[in-house]
Amino acid sequence: MDRAWVYLVTGGCGFLGEKIVELLSQQDYIKEVRVFDSVAREEVKKFTTATTLVTVTKGDLRDYNLLLATMQGVDVVIHTAAVVDYRNTMPFWEMRAINVGGTENVLRACCALDIPYVVHTSSISAVGPNTLCEPMFRGNEDTKYSGEVELPYGKTKAMAEKLVFEANGKKLSNGGKLTTCIIRANTVYGEKATFLRELYLSAKARNGVMNYLEPENTERNYTYVGNVAWMHVLAARNLQLKPDLLAGQVYYSYDDTPTRQSFLIRHQLLSSADPSVRLGSHIPYWKMWLMIQLHRIIKVILYPFWKPWPFINLPLLNTIVTTFSYETDKASRHFGYKPLFTWEESKHRTAQWLKATAEDLQSPHLPKKKN
């Protein structure tokens, strides 16, 4: 096949975006992969091959003119850039400006430049849990679930999804139409996953003990970053080949990582890298609730003289303790998705990365034990 396609990956220097860029650069139908990211890391250019060029542009999604210039000549956009903020460290208006306003700019530029294909990276947080903390147990893309989303981050992703759905089918000036689909990621793990690094630090600071917040009857999905990225690659390609089937569709990301208690998955990932990490005890909801309230009170009293480390908040706590899981094969049925990496391979690759960074993680500056 003629190598004629030019792809743009927003957020291509991020945890998931970088893996998408790596896999795209290996496809024989792509001649260029452009990366647009607010943190432009030149090392992603290492994925350039003899036939596929990888370029990087540093830019903010809110800068429409720069985005428009970067998207000149692009055929397909994979829009994965977003602020992922579960702890509310960023003001909501700013997170909304990037996650929602940035998505609006991407879609607007596609219409202005007659770019017909957009794959949007969303999140299960765009669906729920809602403010009533109603569970979803092994649902799918068609499961009816209503109510206001609990997490502020999830609210912005739900707003962005709405824009992407509404843009699907919009007529372009060249007579074509905009074709979009959405991939909802869940908890994504793998090499360079910052939450795993933080968990490892926390466990080592507690003599290898990993405590957890989830009740033992809760269930959530985890997916390896390489498999989530591969789903994006396949979705983007088949959005071109089978637009009538994929247009306006949403897909949950999945692989064969066990669907069960999140703390068991985290323990397996960490203990595979360091057998001294052992599972601790469950922290009751009421205890964490009191700690959150106490933290808020102290923060108000000492503001602006004290800037504490970001702490868990009530919406995040409610999300953690609520079952929200799904089972689906929709991506397999629609575009032949099969995971590139098995659970054992995913676990091994993640463990090898943690081992490689263990020396730095166990530096003499390791924080002391906390309650």
Catalytic positions, written as ranges: 153
Could you give the angle at the alpha carbon of 72 between the alpha carbons of 68 and 76, nearest 5°?
100
**Residues whose CB falls within 8 Å of the CB of residue 256, separated by 6 or more in sequence, listed in order:** 339, 342, 343
> b vs e for 92-130, b when ≥16 Cβ sit within 10 Å of the residue's Cβ?
eeebbbbbbbbbbbbbebbeebebbbbbbbbbbbbbbbb
Pairing of the two strands 278-282 and 117-123: unpaired
The structure tokens listed for 22 are 């790596």
Judge whether 246 and 334 are in contact, CB under 8 Å: yes
Q: Measuring CA to CA, how many Å separate 143 from each of 138, 140, 316?
A: 9, 5, 23
- Chain centre to alpha carbon of residue 371: 29
Judge whether 99 and 154 are in contact, CB under 8 Å: no
